[in-house]
Amino acid sequence: MTRLVELEESGPRRLEPSDIDDEKGDIAVCQCGLSDSFPFCDGSHRATRDEDDDATYVYEDGERREVERVVTVDESDG
């Protein structure tokens, strides 16, 4: 599966000691791109559990839709 996500930040977010979860004692970094607390996991990844391996998805306004992924190659970069 592939997910298309939009991110607006253009630089890093330094982790601070206060980012450590008081109960679990760890920091969970989002890898699915869906978290409302990005870069931290907020559990939104649960929505991806039934994604098909060969599909590409976009999540908008709480809805998931499958999209066709078009990959172009610029042969002048050769």
Binding of ligand FES by 34 (CB under 6 A): yes
Give the helix ranges, DSSP H, for 1-78: none
Which of residues 19, 27, 45, 56 is near ligand FES by CB under 6 A? 45
In contact, 30 and 41? CB cutoff 8 Å = yes
Binding of ligand FES by 56 (CB under 6 A): no
Whole-angstrom distance, CA of residue 28 vs CA of residue 19: 9
Binding of ligand FES by 47 (CB under 6 A): no
Taking CB under 6 A as the binding criterion, the range among 8-16, 26-34, 49-57, 68-76 that sits at the site for ligand FES is 26-34
Task: Name the residues that contact ligand FES, by CB under 6 A.
Answer: 30-32, 34-35, 41-45
